Chains A and B, each alone.
Chain A
Amino acid sequence: MPYVAYLFNSKDKLKEDLIEKVNKIKNNIDKVKSLYGDDNKVLIKNSAIIDLKEALILTLNYLAILNDSKKVNEYKDKIIEKLVYIKENKILTIDQYRDTYLLLKQILIE
């Protein structure tokens, strides 16, 4: 869905799409676990990183549209920090990847 369309439609559609993205991240984590077990040093890159960036940008949209200053104050900088880290490093360990997933999940659940 075009990003601008979220501004014209309900927050529900944005949340629905965000849940789908976050589930994709979870699938990536599960896939790594099934291939490498509990090895925390496994590195995540390429398409799995793009999936995460897409989810983070969508979350930024979600926070912007939510009109909830408490949530914005709590999470906006964290999301931006994650995006900047990914941009600079391009690769994450599975632990860092999972931490970011948990942050996204927390924002969605609250």
Chain B
Amino acid sequence: MDTNLQYSYQIPDLKTRFQIDFGNIIEQIVELLTYSDVSTDTRTFDNEELKNKLRAAISYALGLLASTSGYSMSEKIQRDVLTAKNTLIALFNAIIIKPQLTYIDLLDIYFELIQKVSIILNYGTPIPQPRTGNYEIT
């Protein structure tokens, strides 16, 4: 397969998949933030369920970040992306430790998540890396 074609297929596919998985969770969080009483309305909000959703969203973001390893980035961008990674991991751990998420927690986590994903999405361009080795079927 032509390497350039391979990249033009893989990269958009990854982002589309991310957009769907991450997007579903983000919509649910926005709904909670806008329309329900987080931490008091047990009919619409379950703490453990929300914690799982947030951890899943962070995992998707980290997965996206891992996929940028072959991207061309300046040193500044590399630093920003590293900070994004560390913040996401810290958020992931904080969510595990916190027994009950409050409305403020959720707003803070939501903001950090969007901001860091925005950084990951907007920086870097993929470097096509053609395979040069010889492959032999035995």
Q: Which residues of A contact B (CB under 8 A)?
A: 2-5, 7-8, 50, 53-54, 57, 60-61, 63-65, 67, 72, 76, 80, 83-84, 87
Q: Are A7 and B34 in contact (CB under 8 A)?
A: no
Q: Are A67 and B118 in contact (CB under 8 A)?
A: yes
Count of chain B residues near A, Cβ 8 A: 25
Q: Are A87 and B103 in contact (CB under 8 A)?
A: yes
Q: Are B22 and A57 in contact (CB under 8 A)?
A: no
CA–CA, A78 and B2, complex, Å? 52
Identify A80's interface contact among B22, B34, B104, CB under 8 A.
B104
Q: Are B37 and A60 in contact (CB under 8 A)?
A: no
Q: Are A4 and B37 in contact (CB under 8 A)?
A: no
Quote the shortest CB–CB distance from B117 to chain A (angstroms): 6
Main secondary structure of the interface of B (DSSP, over half): helix
Is B33 on the interface with A (CB-CB < 8 A)?
A: yes
Q: Are A7 and B121 in contact (CB under 8 A)?
A: yes
If A53-B35, A84-B103 are given as contacts, then 19 extra A-B residue pairs at C-beta distance below 8 Å, sorted by A number, are A4-B23, A4-B26, A5-B19, A5-B23, A7-B117, A7-B118, A8-B15, A8-B19, A50-B34, A53-B33, A53-B34, A54-B34, A60-B114, A63-B111, A64-B114, A64-B115, A65-B114, A80-B107, A83-B103
Q: Which A residues touch B34, using CB under 8 A?
A: 50, 53-54, 57
Q: Which A residues touch B33, using CB under 8 A?
A: 53, 57, 83
Q: Which A residues touch B48, using CB under 8 A?
A: none
Q: Are B114 and A2 in contact (CB under 8 A)?
A: no
CA–CA, A63 and B115, complex, Å? 8
Provide a sorted-by-A list of 29 A–B residue pairs whose CB atoms are within 8 angstroms. Answer: A2-B23, A2-B26, A3-B26, A4-B23, A5-B19, A5-B23, A8-B15, A50-B34, A50-B35, A53-B34, A54-B34, A57-B30, A60-B107, A60-B111, A63-B111, A64-B111, A64-B114, A64-B118, A65-B114, A67-B115, A67-B122, A72-B115, A76-B111, A80-B104, A80-B107, A80-B111, A83-B107, A84-B103, A87-B37
